[in-house]
Amino acid sequence: MSFPLWYIEKKLGHDLPKGIIHVGANEGQEFEAYQAANPDIVLWIEAIPTVYEKLCSRISADKSHYAVQHCCSDVNGDEVTFNIANLGGLASSMLPLGESIKQSYPGISYVNSFKILTRTLDSILEESFAGEQFDLLVMDTQGAELKVLQGAHQLLKRVRYVYAEVSEYPLYDGGCTYEQIDSLLKLYGFKLKNLAMNGKNWGDALYAK
């Protein structure tokens, strides 16, 4: 079971989420873990076309799992350069690599890029998933987590849990910090339940209402 689901059930004593959104899905590495939780619906969002194809192949046998190819941000229709890293899509971002990540992880580099129009989470849900109930939002968007949240105003009113990669300082140029994410989520009634940081000042945070 993935960490946020385990923590929600075992530590918080809550029922497992019935609807999950995973932004920055990559190839759907959490697919089996989400399946084990038996949710009603899982929505995977991935920006990179070739990685998205692998994601679709992985989840195709489960009709409760859906994948869409979008780059989530705070506005619709903003053309951005999405940078592809040399790790099979991992560490890829709509933001340039910052000096801190270059120093901490010198093996990471961008090897390709493509243009893509941004979408807000709210617009994606309204267009294709209206009426579906989502409880958990998972984000692994390499510094763009705040932008994703700023485009999810309606969703944040309804969702019960948010699990996000966070850092004490921006790892990507124009990226967000843990403090910024924390401040925004508090406006929607979320409280920090678990924060696990590594020795390089980034990690994962779980919030709940």
Q: What CATH number is associated with residue 175?
A: 3.40.50.150
Model pLDDT, residue 200: 74
Longest dimension (CA), the chain: 45
Question: Domain containing 160: what range?
Answer: 3-208
Cα(121)–Cα(23) distance, integer angstroms? 9
| pLDDT for res 110 | 97
Taking residues 53-80, what's their average pLDDT? Answer: 98
pLDDT of 105:
87
Q: pLDDT, tens digit, for every residue of 108-117?
A: 999 999 999 9
Q: What is the pLDDT of residue 131?
A: 92
Q: Could you report how far apart the first and last alpha carbons of the chain are, in Å?
A: 21
Instruction: Evaluate whether 33 touches 5 at the Cβ level (below 8 Å).
Output: yes
Look at residue 88 in the predicted model and tell me its pLDDT: 82
What's the chain's average pLDDT? 96
Pairing mode of beta strands 110-119, 19-23: unpaired
187-202: pLDDT as tens digits = 999 999 999 998 778 8
Six-digit token pair at 30?
A: 């959490």
The C-alpha angle 49, 55, 58, rounded to 5 degrees, equals 150
Using an 8 Å Cβ cutoff, are 118 and 71 in contact?
Answer: yes
**Is pLDDT of 68 > 90?**
yes
Q: Is a pLDDT exceeding 80 seen at residue 1?
A: no
CA 61 to centroid of chain Cα atoms: 23
pLDDT tens digits for 13-43?
999 999 999 999 999 999 999 999 999 999 9
CB atoms within 10 A of CB 73: 23
Say what the pTM is.
Answer: 0.96
Alpha carbons 160 and 5: distance in angstroms, whole number: 12
**Cα–Cα separations (whole angstroms), residue 86 to 8, 99, 112:** 33, 17, 9
Give 90-145 pLDDT, tens digit per residue: 899 999 999 989 988 899 999 999 999 999 999 999 999 999 999 999 999 999 99
Instruction: List strands edge to edge, sheet with 71-72.
Output: 71-72, 110-119, 79-85
Q: Is the pLDDT of residue 183 over 90?
A: yes
Beta-sheet pairing, 71-72 with 110-119: parallel
Q: Domain tally for the chain? A: 1
Which tokens go with 139? 């984000």
**Residue 79 DSSP code:** E
Distance CA 203, CA 209 (A): 21
User: Is there a contact between 134 and 158 (Cβ–Cβ < 8 Å)?
Assistant: yes
For range 61-78, the mean pLDDT: 98
